[in-house]
Amino acid sequence: MVLFEPVIGLEVHAQLKTATKIFCGCSAAFGAPPNTHTCPICLGMPGVLPVLNRKVVEYALRMALATHCSVAQLSRFARKNYFYPDLPKGYQISQYDLPIAVDGHVEIQMDGQTRRIGLIRIHMEEDAGKLMHASDRPVSFVDLNRAGVPLIEIVSEPDLRSAEEAGAYLRTLRSLIRWIGVGDGNMEEGSFRCDANVSIRPQGSSAFGTRTEIKNLNSFKHVEKALRYEIARQTEIVLDGGAVVQETRLWDPDKGVTLSMRGKEEAHDYRYFPDPDLPPLVIDRAWIDRVRGQLPELPHERRQRFITDYQLPAYDAGILTASREAADYFEACLQVYPHPKVVSNWIMGPLLGLLNAQDKTIEQSPVSAADLAALLQLTGEGVISGKIAKTVFDEMAASGRTAGQVVQDKGLAQVSDTRALEAAVDKVLAGAADEVSRYKAGQTKLMGFFVGQVMKATKGKANPNVVNEILKKKLH
Ligand code: ADP
Ligand code: MG
Ligand code: ZN
Mutational test site, ligand 1, from 4, 97, 197, 262, max ligand atoms within 8 Å of CB = 197
Give the model's confidence band at 262: pLDDT under 50 very low, under 70 low, under 90 confident, else very high. confident
As a whole number of angstroms, the distance between CA 30 and CA 250 comes to: 25
Each residue of 156-199: pLDDT tens digit?
A: 999 999 999 999 999 999 999 999 999 999 988 889 999 999 99
For ligand 1, say whether the CB of 199 is within 6 Å of any of its atoms. Answer: yes
Question: Which pLDDT score is estimated for 226?
Answer: 97
Q: Are 436 and 453 in contact (CB under 8 A)?
A: no
Q: 200-209, 232-241, 343-352, 431-440: lowest mean pLDDT where?
A: 431-440
For ligand 1, say whether the CB of 200 is within 6 Å of any of its atoms. Answer: no
Domain with CATH 1.10.10.410 in the chain: 418-475
CA 225, distance to chain mean position in Å, is: 18
As a whole number of angstroms, the distance between CA 95 and CA 174 comes to: 22
As a whole number of angstroms, the distance between CA 305 and CA 326 comes to: 15
As a whole number of angstroms, the distance between CA 169 and CA 115 comes to: 10
C-alpha of residue 213 to centroid of ligand 2, in Å: 7
Instruction: Tell whether the model's pLDDT for residue 132 goes beyond 70.
Output: yes
Question: Which pLDDT score is estimated for 387?
Answer: 80
Tell me the C-alpha to C-alpha distance, in Å, between residue 399 and each of 2, 23, 366, 406.
Answer: 60, 49, 9, 9
Name the average pLDDT for the chain.
93
CA 474, distance to chain mean position in Å, is: 56
**Which ligand 1 atom is nearest residue 157's CA?**
16
Question: Which pLDDT score is estimated for 467?
Answer: 87
For ligand 1, say whether the CB of 208 is within 6 Å of any of its atoms. Answer: yes
> What is the distance in angstroms between the CA of the first residue and the CA of the last residue of the chain?
71
For ligand 1, say whether the CB of 323 is within 6 Å of any of its atoms. Answer: no
Q: 161-175, 372-386, 413-427: lowest mean pLDDT where?
A: 413-427
Each residue of 99-112: pLDDT tens digit?
A: 999 999 999 999 88
Question: Which pLDDT score is estimated for 353?
Answer: 96
Count of beta carbons in the 10 Å neighbourhood of residue 425: 25
Domain 418-475 has CATH 1.10.10.410: yes
Instruction: Tell whether the model's pLDDT for residue 283 goes beyond 80.
Output: yes
Count of beta carbons in the 10 Å neighbourhood of residue 13: 16
More confident residue, 414 or 388: 388
Instruction: Tell whether the model's pLDDT for residue 423 goes beyond 90.
Output: no
More confident residue, 169 or 458: 169
C-alpha of residue 11 to centroid of ligand 1, in Å: 8
Each residue of 44-84: pLDDT tens digit?
A: 999 999 999 999 999 999 999 999 999 999 999 999 999 99
Question: Which pLDDT score is estimated for 1?
Answer: 67
Instruction: Tell whether the model's pLDDT for residue 115 goes beyond 90.
Output: yes
Confidence (pTM): 0.87
